[in-house]
Chain A
Amino acid sequence: MNKYKSAVVLFIAFLVLCSFVILSNARKAPAQYRLVYWGLSGNDVSRLQQTLYDWGYNPGPVDGVFGNSTYQSLISFQANNGLASDGVAGPATWAALGFSSGSDPISQPAPVSISRGVSNRDDTYLLARVIEGEAANESFTGKVAVGAVILNRMQSAAFPYSLAGIIYQPGAFESVSNGQYNRPLTDDSLRAAMMAMSGWDPTGGALYFWNPAKPVSPWVWTRNVITQIGRHIFAR
């Protein structure tokens, strides 16, 4: 009897725990970069440590705890980049690390001061997000190529006229259909989008791309295959 009861209690506890996990996942902290210094811990510290690693420093394990090794490598980063070597990651340091102070520089384009809002940044970011969704694990050329296919569709009569029309065409891109393109952007995808927008086209005018390892319509193989870049086949 007692055993049975404790099992029920355990089950309820499990349910409560589950709901907590679901709730806490639903409430993601906004991407804010605050002042980070010795003694703090948390996501910002992990991000700082990871970024310092990426820049070739050794901030110790990426554990989200600001300790001595993180402090030492932050100071040398600051010294190397002409910042005040105080071991405190403030707006200037975050900016030098590649983040703008306040908000995520990549997913939140800064408002453009002059020209009253006319810019092609919105298109670049939208394109970069689809590139991230479709070709996150591809080489840089593979990323530019995916961007180029999307832009080539704008020149084609068979596709919608606007970038948003092409990207949100029902079923056109898997990562848009399943929401994967909402992942945080990487610098690489953003650069690839910029280069594709400026006219780079490693595919030589392709309108389609697909991964032959995934189930695709046999129809696509009737197109003229141009080349393969990484895991994607590109065709007209």
Chain B
Amino acid sequence: MSTIRWRRLLPLAIAVVLVGGIFLWGYQQYTVRKKLEVSLNNKYYRSFYDLLENVQNVEVLLSKVLVAQAPEQDSKIFTEIWQRANAAQANLNQLPLTDITTGRTSKFLTQVGDYSFTLLQKVAAGQSKCQKDWNTLQTLYKQTSTLNTELQDTERKIAEGKLYLGELAQQTGRVVQKEGPKLANGNFQKIEDNLKSFPTLIYDGPFSDKLEERTARGITGAKINVFQAKTRILELVEHRPGTKHMVEGIRKIEGKIPAFQADLISTSGSSGEKERLSVAVSRQGGKLLWYTLSRKVAPNKITLAEAREKAVKFLSEKGYRNITPIYYEQGARMVVFNFAAIQNGVILYPDQIKVTVALDNGQILGIEATDYLMSHHQRVIPKPALTLAQARGKLSPHLTKISGGRLTLIPRGTANEVLAYEFRGELDQDTFLIYINAANGKEEQVLRLVRNKEGILSF
């Protein structure tokens, strides 16, 4: 009797234990998820309140700088605006919103920071802010207070419990990608729309609006059509003995430099191996913009010097003769060489071409000439006012093992170039490049060279 009962009860007991186990497991999962959600939400709230504080500070600082007069005050305030605005931008981009909803606000904060950094440099160079700067600062102040009001409004809704930032996160995942601007929580969208009506900000900084209208100076010549582009592309690729190239498709690219881009298949005659190439030439003048070739690269067989020779030979075959290698970077069985143009013995750093060489057989895996085409033109290079010895005298006394002293043209700001002497010096184990303005002896740039087994980089 009892064994029969036991037999009957056993499956029931197992079922109860199982259901209980599953329940327990489910409850644990739920608590873990809840905890994670809360800690994630707290991160979002922190970013939001940081953003609020930073924007408030920017607003106050902008109003202060409107009445400040002494350059010491100006430089102090501009430094703080620059830092606060940058921090605010970083806070904003940590919120669970897509760049569709925050792009314009981000840009505004970036430009406020960038603009005050430009003014900071101006003040540091001994100039004070002019009437035009004052007017721009006043506009920025008004715009920042609008932004601040909107953010405070959003904060009130959060405080009243009408808006959860965690909700935004869920919507970012599901709705925003499909709905975009139609999103119901229009709080951030409204801020964004208000900022859209603000005028563009033009100044000499890296995030200024005027940079978007830059034209390519190295592009000259007549427009070409698709057929000419095809012929041109077949001329430009590397011709190795026994390989044949075939254009598979060609299309237009509407990038910064309008171009034709072709996909090629190259077949090597001996092994019949196929490789894919992409080549782009400008629609005006048929200049080579870039090309990439992809294939498996076998272990290193050639040395860096041999690879460099291949790159130089390839470039001179394609008509780039007045160039010199400046630095390189190595990795994944290939090496990227950077070349700069030379004019009358002066190195033109803005005009750079990069060439990638495979370290197994020295094949050219890619070339990138967009920078070169954007800035290359015949420069009027002034005679240096300082002699080499005079420029050398301007260097820091802490530098040891000073060498170099060649003339270079380096970019300054976004649109200017200056003629400078390039020196190399050391402090302890670190190597630096120092650029001394050849016209007035000012120290234009200090770069730190990083040399490791991957190559030489400058920071």
A and B: partners? yes
Binary per-residue interface labels of chain A (160-195) against chain B in the complex, 1 for a CB within 8 Å, 0 otherwise: 110001000111100001000000000110110011
Q: Is the CB of B452 within 8 A of A115?
A: yes
Q: Is the CB of A161 within 8 A of B100?
A: no
Q: Is the CB of B368 within 8 A of A190?
A: no
Q: Is A212 an interface residue (CB 8 A)?
A: no
Q: Is A225 an interface residue (CB 8 A)?
A: yes
Q: Is the CB of B177 within 8 A of A217?
A: yes
Question: In the complex, which residue of chain B has the Cβ closest to the Cβ of A218?
Answer: B180
Query: Within 8 Å CB of B439, what residues of A?
Result: none
Query: Within 8 Å CB of A190, what residues of B?
Result: 331-332
Indicate which residue in B110, B179, B452 contacts A119 across the interface (CB closer than 8 Å). Answer: B452
Binary per-residue interface labels of chain A (193-232) against chain B in the complex, 1 for a CB within 8 Å, 0 otherwise: 0110011111111100000000111111000111110000
Q: Is B104 an interface residue (CB 8 A)?
A: yes
Q: Given A112-B453, A227-B261, are A171 and B111 neighbors across the interface (CB < 8 Å)? A: no
Q: Is B334 an interface residue (CB 8 A)?
A: yes
CA–CA, A1 to B5, complex, Å? 12
Q: Is the CB of A159 within 8 A of B93?
A: yes
Q: Is the CB of B336 within 8 A of A198?
A: yes
Q: Which of A55-92 contact B (CB under 8 A)?
A: 55, 81
Q: Is B274 an interface residue (CB 8 A)?
A: no
Q: Is A136 an interface residue (CB 8 A)?
A: no
Q: Is B37 an interface residue (CB 8 A)?
A: no
Q: Is the CB of A200 within 8 A of B366?
A: yes
Q: Which of B119-127, B292-300, B302-310, B314-322 contacts A (4 or more CB under 8 A)?
A: B292-300
Question: Which has the most chain A C-beta neighbours within 10 Å: B94, B173, B278?
Answer: B278
Q: Is B459 an interface residue (CB 8 A)?
A: yes
Query: Within 8 Å CB of B86, what residues of A?
Result: 161
Q: Is the CB of B255 within 8 A of A205?
A: yes
Query: Within 8 Å CB of B100, what residues of A?
Result: 217, 219-220
Question: In the complex, which residue of chain B has the Cβ closest to the Cβ of A124?
Answer: B331
Binary per-residue interface labels of chain B (363-391) against chain A in the complex, 1 for a CB within 8 Å, 0 otherwise: 00110101100000000000000000000
Query: Within 8 Å CB of B332, what residues of A?
Result: 187, 190-191, 194
Q: Is the CB of B368 within 8 A of A199?
A: yes
Question: Which has the most chain B C-beta neighbours within 10 Å: A96, A161, A217?
Answer: A217
Query: Within 8 Å CB of A170, what residues of B?
Result: 94-98, 169, 172
Q: Which of B1-31 contact A (CB under 8 A)?
A: 7, 10-11, 14, 18
Q: Is A52 an interface residue (CB 8 A)?
A: no
Q: Is B103 an interface residue (CB 8 A)?
A: yes
Q: Given A158-B103, A177-B173, are A144 and B179 neighbors across the interface (CB < 8 Å)? A: no
Q: Which of B227-286 contact A (CB under 8 A)?
A: 251-257, 259, 261, 263, 276, 278, 280
Indicate which residue in B178, B294, B333, B451 contacts A115 across the interface (CB closer than 8 Å). Answer: B451
Query: Within 8 Å CB of B424, what residues of A?
Result: none
Q: Interface size (A, Cβ < 8 Å)? A: 65
Query: Within 8 Å CB of A172, what residues of B?
Result: 98-99
Query: Within 8 Å CB of A205, what residues of B?
Result: 255-256
Q: Interface size (B, Cβ < 8 Å)? A: 80
Q: Is A24 an interface residue (CB 8 A)?
A: no
Q: Given A198-B354, A202-B278, A227-B251, are A165 and B292 neighbors across the interface (CB < 8 Å)? A: no
CA–CA, A232 to B292, complex, Å? 18
Query: Within 8 Å CB of A165, what residues of B?
Result: 90, 93
Q: Is B181 an interface residue (CB 8 A)?
A: yes
Q: Is A12 an interface residue (CB 8 A)?
A: yes
Q: Is the CB of A226 within 8 A of B253?
A: yes
Smallest CB separation, A197 vs chain B (Å): 8
Q: Is A32 an interface residue (CB 8 A)?
A: no
Q: Is the CB of A120 within 8 A of B457?
A: yes
CA–CA, A206 to B172, complex, Å? 23
CA–CA, A54 to B295, complex, Å? 12
Binary per-residue interface labels of chain A (101-114) against chain B in the complex, 1 for a CB within 8 Å, 0 otherwise: 00000000000111
Smallest CB separation, A141 vs chain B (Å): 4
Question: In the complex, which residue of chain B has the Cβ closest to the Cβ of A4?
Answer: B11
Q: Is A43 an interface residue (CB 8 A)?
A: no
Question: In the complex, which residue of chain A has the Cβ closest to the Cβ of B452?
Answer: A112
Query: Within 8 Å CB of A169, what residues of B?
Result: 93-94, 99
Q: Is B107 an interface residue (CB 8 A)?
A: yes
Q: Is A121 an interface residue (CB 8 A)?
A: yes
Q: Is A40 an interface residue (CB 8 A)?
A: no
Q: Is the CB of B368 within 8 A of A227?
A: no
Q: Is the CB of B96 within 8 A of A171?
A: yes
Q: Given A161-B89, A227-B254, are A195 and B292 neighbors across the interface (CB < 8 Å)? A: yes
Q: Is the CB of B451 within 8 A of A158?
A: no
Q: Is the CB of A161 within 8 A of B90?
A: yes
Q: Is A17 an interface residue (CB 8 A)?
A: no
Q: Is the CB of B255 within 8 A of A226?
A: yes
Q: Which of B58-113 contact A (CB under 8 A)?
A: 86, 89-90, 93-100, 103-104, 106-107, 110-111
Q: Is the CB of B207 within 8 A of A157?
A: yes
Other than A113-B452, A157-B106, give 8 A-B pairs with Cβ distance below 8 A.
Answer: A112-B452, A119-B450, A155-B206, A158-B104, A170-B169, A202-B292, A204-B289, A215-B178
Q: 30 interchain pairs (CB within 8 A)?
A: A8-B14, A81-B299, A96-B299, A112-B452, A115-B450, A119-B452, A121-B454, A140-B278, A140-B292, A157-B111, A158-B103, A160-B93, A161-B110, A170-B169, A171-B173, A187-B296, A194-B336, A195-B292, A195-B366, A199-B352, A200-B366, A201-B370, A203-B253, A204-B257, A204-B289, A216-B177, A217-B179, A217-B180, A220-B100, A226-B255
| Chain B residues proximal to chain A, CB less than 8 Å | 7, 10-11, 14, 18, 86, 89-90, 93-100, 103-104, 106-107, 110-111, 114, 169, 172-173, 176-181, 206-207, 251-257, 259, 261, 263, 276, 278, 280, 289-290, 292-294, 296-299, 329, 331-334, 336, 338, 352, 354, 356, 365-366, 368, 370-371, 429, 448, 450-454, 457, 459
For the complex of A and B, 5 pairs with smallest distance between CB atoms: A204-B255, A140-B294, A219-B180, A217-B180, A157-B110
